[in-house]
Amino acid sequence: MSNENLQQLLNTPAAFLAEPEKDGNVAVFTRIRLARNISTFPFPCAAHPEQLTEICELVTAAAGNCEKMNKDGCLSFDIAEMTPADREILKERFLAGKEILSGPENCRLLTGKDSSCSILINDEDHLRIQILAPGFQLDQAWVDTDALDNALSAHLDYAFDDQLGFLTSSPANTGTGLKASVLLHLPGLVMTGKLGPTIQGVNKLNLAFRGLYGEPNENPGNLFLISNQVTLGDSETGIIGKLSQVVRQLILHENAARQLVIQKDQAALLDHVGRSYGILRHGFKLSVKEALNCLSGLRLGVDMKLFSHVDMNCVNEMFLTVQPVHLQKYAEKNLSAAERDVFRAEYCREKLKK
Amino acid sequence: MSNENLQQLLNTPAAFLAEPEKDGNVAVFTRIRLARNISTFPFPCAAHPEQLTEICELVTAAAGNCEKMNKDGCLSFDIAEMTPADREILKERFLAGKEILSGPENCRLLTGKDSSCSILINDEDHLRIQILAPGFQLDQAWVDTDALDNALSAHLDYAFDDQLGFLTSSPANTGTGLKASVLLHLPGLVMTGKLGPTIQGVNKLNLAFRGLYGEPNENPGNLFLISNQVTLGDSETGIIGKLSQVVRQLILHENAARQLVIQKDQAALLDHVGRSYGILRHGFKLSVKEALNCLSGLRLGVDMKLFSHVDMNCVNEMFLTVQPVHLQKYAEKNLSAAERDVFRAEYCREKLKK
């Protein structure tokens, strides 16, 4: 059952990885997540199994009444029943955090087929409501999140304190329960050595900024997630407004850095892009790190209109699908690390053959 | 005049770089060269300018009577009148040695348009008769050289001594005046680290063996020229027979080495080939060294039937045409080294676009 749903999820293009209609391609996607709890139950960490089961059913029923969750078919995943690898796939697809990897009982993910809206039940909080949207769309994503939240609250009695706001399992989320993030592709800042100063600047603004993949200071793929850190003492629109302002600045900086690179040595930039494509299109062995770096180069090339036959959606999706667990799933059998590198290269060649 | 002829030479496919019909692709081409002098004149180094002029006219007239030299039109190059760069092109195309670079007076190259037969007049000797043939064709090339030599000797009185044989300017060529060479592509022996022992073995047999490009021990392109060193004390067919035997052995060793590489790690070999093609097909900056190494990888791939749309003739020709002087000629203007790398990459992309 979970397995069938997972196949449907893998076979449906993720809407948040599509090419955005505006604001260019520096921002890959926007994510907004709300932490909510039901007032009549203890937080998940303190609840009895029967209570958790009841919460699961209550939220599932409430979600069943939300048009947004059901417009293209809602998929349900009972996390405890899934294999560790399948759980990892949900994590790699940004539908849940690392907490689900241990397979907590009575934890359930409900998600629209295209992943654009989802609810994670009985993870750290009773509900984690999430909206994923392509590109830089914090304002629209907030409107959508708020609408989904309101629709659910018509059926659920949220734990709310007049002084503190929404109550959450971890004090770090109390207040708005809001975590807004934008995934940015910043090859220009990396190439010009301006990433370090940028990170320092962002950190001073009480925002979190981290590389999506690899070890710190390694950042294969040049993808960076920027999020608010403070959930208390400001309104939702206040938090989102401040984050928007910084993201807009970062996009400007990235585009300026790209222009700088082009002016300094256009051929070197084109060479970087061309080789990235050449290796993905013709290689036969590809580590995840090299694949991510080549995808970053290719993404830059698609953005620069060098590869008219490669679409951004495909490149964005490949960032996900070259990951070890996704690949393992596509291969439909266990692969050693060396076999996976060969299969990854084959997968990339086929994807780019069109 | 020379310039027009040079354009014709550059525009005519070099017959010796075509894919050979048999014996596979380890051997790129076979070259046989005969040193001859006319008995009634001193060697070029000792002759007066008027004598050199006379020799030039005599040999040109004799060549005019040889069917082989004229079947597709004979091109004539008066070396002293050429620019240093244009002389370098003749050298890069294997039609003359480095001696012509200084632009000696009264030195003339006569060559069939497709470069398969040529006569260099008043270089070290009065005549250097040369046959170039695709692949491993020492026997046939010798038959052709001998026929051309006989045709010329009907009109020219060669300097010949009953004891020593043909007399030449340098004692190193006296006797047969024969230098037979085969250009071999040996990526398998290089990859398996067996090239060193192979060279040592060949040197013991009184044969010369050297990398065609780059510094010793560097050998970008993995191309090696093997030639006889001794011209005296053996017949022409004896010299060619011994060289043939060794070349045949080297081809066997190379093919065995390739099998070894495939068996050990097929994906690594395919990856090497695929990346070589990817960089040539999609790069925007390419040094001559990297271009030669990528061409070596591509040549191996074409030989392994991985690139059905790339023909061997094209790859063989690119080994020549990525050289600095050829590129400069194609660009039709002076390029800095950095500009040349960009132009080289553009040239390779276009060539492989088909």
Q: Closest Cα partner for B224 from B255, B192, B202, B205?
A: B202
Predicted-complex ipTM score: 0.88
Chain A residue numbers with beta carbons less than 8 Å from the beta carbon of B341 are 267
Q: How far apart are CA A227 and CA B125, in angstroms?
A: 80
A285·B271 Cβ contact <8 A: yes
For B175-234, the pLDDT digits (tens) are: 999 999 999 999 999 999 999 888 888 888 889 999 999 887 789 999 999 999 988 889
Answer yes or no: do B271 and A283 touch at CB < 8 A.
Answer: yes
Judged by a CB distance cut-off of 8 A, whether residue A337 touches chain B is: no
* A86 Cα distance to chain centroid: 17
| Residue B83 one-letter amino acid | T
Cβ–Cβ contact A264 with B under 8 A: no
Q: Pick from B266, B285, B286 the residue to mutate for testing the A interface (most A CBs within 10 Å).
A: B285
Does A347 lie at the interface with B, CB-CB under 8 angstroms?
A: no
Residues near A55 by beta carbon (within 8 Å), at least 6 away in sequence: A38, A41, A44, A47, A106, A121, A122, A126
Chain B residue nearest residue A306, CA to CA: B282
| B304 in contact with chain A, both atoms CB, cutoff 8 A | no
Distance CA B176, CA B164 (A): 9
Beta carbons within 10 angstroms of residue B295's beta carbon: 24
Residue B153: pLDDT band (50, 70, 90) is very high
Mean pLDDT by 10 residues, chain A (354 residues): 84 90 87 97 94 96 92 92 94 94 94 95 97 96 97 96 94 94 97 89 88 86 94 92 95 95 95 97 96 97 88 93 92 92 97 88
Instruction: Give B 73-112 residues with CB within 8 A of chain A.
Output: none
Angle between helix A84-92 and helix A324-331 axes, rounded to 10 deg: 120
At residue B195's C-alpha, the angle toward residues B312 and B264, to 5°, is 75
Annotate chain B with three-state secondary structure.
CHHHHHHHHHHCCCHHHCCCCCCCCCEEEEEEEEEECECCCCCHHHCCHHHHHHHHHHHHHHHHCCHHHHCCCEEEEEHHHCCHHHHHHHHHCCCCCHHHHHCCCCCEEEEECCCCEEEEECCCCCEEEEEEEECCCHHHHHHHHHHHHHHHHCCCCECEECCCEECCCCHHHCECCEEEEEEEECHHHHHCCCHHHHHHHHHHCCEEEEECCCCCCCCCCCEEEEEECCCCCCCHHHHHHHHHHHHHHHHHHHHHHHHHHHHHHHHHHHHHHHHHHHHHHHCCCCCHHHHHHHHHHHHHHHHCCCCCCCCHHHHHHHHHHCCHHHHHHHHCCCCCHHHHHHHHHHHHHHHHHC
Q: What phi and psi values does residue A161 have, to the nearest 5 degrees?
A: -120, 130
Q: Are A284 and B278 in contact (CB < 8 Å)?
A: no
Q: Residues B286-306: pLDDT tens digits?
A: 999 999 999 999 999 999 888
Which of B277, B281, B283 shows the shortest C-beta gap to A271? B283
Residue A157 and residue A38 in contact, taking contact as beta carbons nearer than 8 Å: yes
Given a contact cutoff of 8 angstroms between Cβ atoms, the answer to whether B131 and B148 are in contact is yes
* CA distances (Å), origin A273, targets A78, A304, B285, B345: 42, 10, 11, 13
Q: Which residue among A267, A278, A341 sits closest to B282, beta carbon to beta carbon?
A: A278
Q: Does A285 touch chain B (CB under 8 A)?
A: yes
Point out the residue among B279, B341, B342 whose CB comes nearest to the CB of A278.
B279
pLDDT above 70: residue B310: yes
Q: Identify the sign of the CA torsion A69, A70, A72, A77.
A: positive
**CA B111, B116, B119, B120 torsion-angle sign:** positive
Q: Do B282 and A285 touch (CB under 8 A)?
A: no
Please give the backbone phi and psi of residue B33, each rounded to the nearest 5 degrees, phi first: -130, 135
- Look up tokens 């046959």; give the residue: B131
As a whole number of angstroms, the distance between CA A57 and CA A78 comes to: 12
| B307: nearest CA partner in chain A | A282
Cβ atoms of A179 and A32 within 8 Å: the answer is: yes
Q: What is the pLDDT, as a whole number, of residue B2? A: 65
Instruction: Express each pLDDT in B16-43 by its tens digit.
Output: 999 887 777 899 999 999 999 999 999 9
Q: Which of A261, A262, A265, A271 to mutate to test the interface with B (most CBs of B within 10 A)?
A: A271
In angstroms, the CA A62 to CA A126 distance is: 13
Q: Which of B245-268 are b and which e, b meaning 16 or more Cβ less than 10 Å from the residue's Cβ?
A: ebbeebbebbeebbeebeeeeebb
Closest residue of chain A to B271, computed from CA coordinates:
A284
pLDDT at B72: 81
Q: At what angle do helices A312-321 and A324-331 cross, to 10 degrees?
A: 90
Q: What's the start-to-end Cα distance of chain A, in Å?
A: 32
**How much is the pLDDT for B319?**
96
Return d(Cα B47, Cα B68) in angstroms, integer.
Answer: 29
Query: Which distant-in-sequence residues (6+ apart) come within 8 Å of B54 by Cβ?
Result: B41
- Report the 3 state secondary structure along chain A: CHHHHHHHHHHCCCHHHCCCCCCCCCEEEEEEEEEECECCCCCHHHCCHHHHHHHHHHHHHHHHCCHHHHCCCEEEEEHHHCCHHHHHHHHHCCCCCHHHHHCCCCCEEEEECCCCEEEEECCCCCEEEEEEEECCCHHHHHHHHHHHHHHHHCCCCECEECCCEECCCCHHHCECCEEEEEEEECHHHHHCCCHHHHHHHHHHCCEEEEECCCCCCCCCCCEEEEEECCCCCCCHHHHHHHHHHHHHHHHHHHHHHHHHHHHHHHHHHHHHHHHHHHHHHHCCCCCHHHHHHHHHHHHHHHHCCCCCCCCHHHHHHHHHHCCHHHHHHHHCCCCCHHHHHHHHHHHHHHHHHC
Cβ–Cβ below 8 Å for B284 and A271: yes
CB contact A48 to B (< 8 Å): no
Radius of gyration from C-alpha coordinates of chain B: 21
For residues B142-170, average pLDDT: 95
What's the gap in Å between the CA of A204 and the closest CA on chain B?
40
Tens-digit pLDDT profile for residues B93-109: 999 999 999 999 899 99
Model pLDDT, residue A2? 65
CB distance from B13 to chain A under 8 Å?
Answer: no
The alpha carbon of residue A24 is apart from the nearest alpha carbon of chain B, in Å, by 25
Q: What are phi and psi of A282, to 5 degrees?
A: -130, -5
Name which of A284, A304, A343 to mutate to probe chain B: the one with the most chain B Cβ atoms within 10 A of its Cβ: A284
Q: What is the pLDDT of residue B147?
A: 96
Looking up tokens 């078919």 gives A73
Interchain contact, A267 vs B278, CB within 8 Å = no
Whether residues A282 and B285 touch (CB distance < 8 A) is answered with no
Selection from B81, B127, B86 nearest residue B104 by Cα: B81
Would you call B277 and A282 a contact, using CB atoms and an 8 Å cutoff? yes
Query: How much is the pLDDT for A76?
Result: 96
B315 to chain A, closest Cα gap in Å: 18
Residue of B nearest to A278 (CA): B278
Considering only the beta carbons, identify the residue of A271, A277, A341 that sits closest to B285: A271
